[in-house]
Structure 1
Amino acid sequence: MDKLTGPILRRRGQAQEASTTDQRLLDTRGPSDWVHQDPWRVLRIQAEFVEGFGALAELGPAIAVFGSARTAPDDPTYALAEEAGRKLVEAGFAVITGGGPGAMEAANKGASQADGLSVGLGIELPFESGLNPWVDKGINFRYFFARKTMFVKYSQGFLVLPGGIGTLDETFEALTLAQTRKVTRFPIVLVGVEYWSGLLAWLRGTVLADGKITEADLDMLTLTDDLDEAVALMVAARDGESW
């Protein structure tokens, strides 16, 4: 078994570490010696930002593709993700994923095979073994918040394929930053009408109806089955056109 701890690769007996760096940072239970460790953690966190900024500073226009790590190669969504990666490269974008298996691997594969730049932003997790083989430029992070910053800073749009909790987290993180105007507005496209319609119906019928969000908030999301439409929105945003 291979395990990536930040940039460090561990194998065999060295891969049995029971907890992640995020967990050790955020878990306040246990002995109080964490008080003396946090200043050093700040330096490690700073290093992750420095490494990410340095690696991605000259990336150029890029689109983040989110989707489930559990998408099997024979799932139609895998082929869809592969096609998305290819179409984005053909439109002049680099493709950024979480670097894992499933839909992320498929999008990286499509981008790499189209001779584009295929980027993976991995994360230290106890149940994943590292970046997929189709990542051409990869960074492995210890901290989710450092990784999320890279997605938002270096992506000009977000193409969201069917996924689970991680995909929802990444999508709503981007949506929140746009809604609160912490970042310039960018396209967020949900691909898969059948998959995402229930979520949007709940947002409209419950959250909007109860006054917790506005119609303009929902307008930041585009729902489609058409990858060409999704890519066209990304191109329009990049070129400064109305989308």
Structure 2
Amino acid sequence: MTSTPRRPASPDEEILSAEWPDVRTELTDPERVERIGAELTRAFDALRDVRDGITVFGSARTGPGSPEYEAARELARRLAADAGATVITGGGPGVMEAANRGAREGGGRAVGLLIDLPFETGSNGYLDVEVPFHYFFTRKVSFVRYSNAFVAMPGGYGTLDELFEVLCLVQTKKIRRYPVVLYGTAFWGGLVAWLRERLLADGLISPGDEDLFVVTDDMEEIVAICADACRRQHGYLGD
């Protein structure tokens, strides 16, 4: 007896499980490709005038008043006020809200690249530019395309995904060596030690790959790194 294919639980399941007989196909491959292309086109159009972009990654679960929230807020304020940066985040709550809020307070622009999630709706309310995305990968393309440096605050799987996406692109020379900064030595120390003691020691990454990022608690150092990245981008563009 043949069962009737069920409707996919999400558009992503419809794509990723398209060959499963128990998941109903609702779009053709050309229709999927068209949707992906339209999403990138919309993002490129909305962000075309972004300059001196610094992306701040971090947890959506960190509330106002927490040390991580206040650190992200102060860091973004300094990036905007002292480095003239446009602060780019995922546009959601937590560290993302804090960074966009700080950018506003520092007189800079706040950009949010929003992802469509069932448990997270709407922007954080501190955005000058917001761009909605359905696909994580089109969103990550946009983070990389419009950023001169990346700062990873404490976060979970999403933050790690974004961080290692950037590190992989730098390692494989798919992009130039953009600065990547991990804020919080206590938070990131265990991961960094594991990268050195296991991946590097076991030959799973090359010598030097463990130095593709900076780990620091010093906001002044982060602002200086990001400001220098913006200056170098100006030279690259011939401004």
Q: TM-score, normalised by structure 2?
A: 0.89
Alignment length (residue pairs):
225
Q: Which residue of 2 aligns with 1:60?
A: 51
Q: Does the C-alpha gap of structure 1 residues 18 and 124 become closer, same or farther in structure 2, counting only changes over 3 Å? A: farther
Deviation at 1:218, TM superposition (A): 1.1
Give the secondary-structure state (helix, strand or coil) at the position aligned to 1:236.
helix
Q: Which residue of 1 aligns with 2:4?
A: none
Cα pair 1:118 1:134 within 8 Å, conserved: yes
Give the secondary-structure state (helix, strand or coil) at the position aligned to 1:139.
strand
Deviation at 1:24, TM superposition (A): 2.6
Quick check: 1:24 aligned with 2:24? no
Q: CA-to-partner distance for each residue in 1:56-88, whole Å, 9 max, x for gaps?
A: 111111000000001121210000010111111
Cα pair 1:20 1:125 within 8 Å, conserved: no
Cα pair 1:20 1:124 within 8 Å, conserved: no
Cα pair 1:121 1:139 within 8 Å, conserved: yes
**2-structure distance, mates of 1:81, 1:143:** 26
Percent identical among aligned pairs is 48
Q: Does the C-alpha gap of structure 1 residues 19 and 136 become closer, same or farther in structure 2, counting only changes over 3 Å? A: farther
Match for 1:50: what amino acid? T
Cα pair 2:8 2:23 within 8 Å, conserved: no
**2-structure distance, mates of 1:50, 1:82:** 31
Q: TM-score, normalised by structure 1?
A: 0.88
Q: Which residue of 2 aligns with 1:229?
A: 221
Q: Does the C-alpha gap of structure 1 residues 140 and 239 become closer, same or farther in structure 2, counting only changes over 3 Å? A: same
Give the secondary-structure state (helix, strand or coil) at the position aligned to 1:34.
coil
Quick check: 1:134 aligned with 2:126? yes
Quick check: 1:122 aligned with 2:114? yes
Cα pair 1:99 1:131 within 8 Å, conserved: yes
Give the secondary-structure state (helix, strand or coil) at the position aligned to 1:215.
coil
Deviation at 1:39, TM superposition (A): 1.2
Cα pair 2:14 2:23 within 8 Å, conserved: no
Structure 2 stretches lacking a partner, 5+ long:
1-6, 234-239
Deviation at 1:151, TM superposition (A): 0.3
Structure 1 stretches lacking a partner, 5+ long:
1-16
Match for 2:73: what amino acid? E
Alignment root-mean-square deviation, CA = 1.8
Q: Which residue of 2 aligns with 1:5?
A: none
**1-structure distance, mates of 2:45, 2:10:** 24
Match for 1:92: what amino acid? G
Q: Does the C-alpha gap of structure 1 residues 231 and 20 become closer, same or farther in structure 2, counting only changes over 3 Å? A: farther
**1-structure distance, mates of 2:67, 2:87:** 20
Could you tell me which of 143, 149, 157 is aligned with 2:149? Answer: 157
Match for 2:11: what amino acid? T
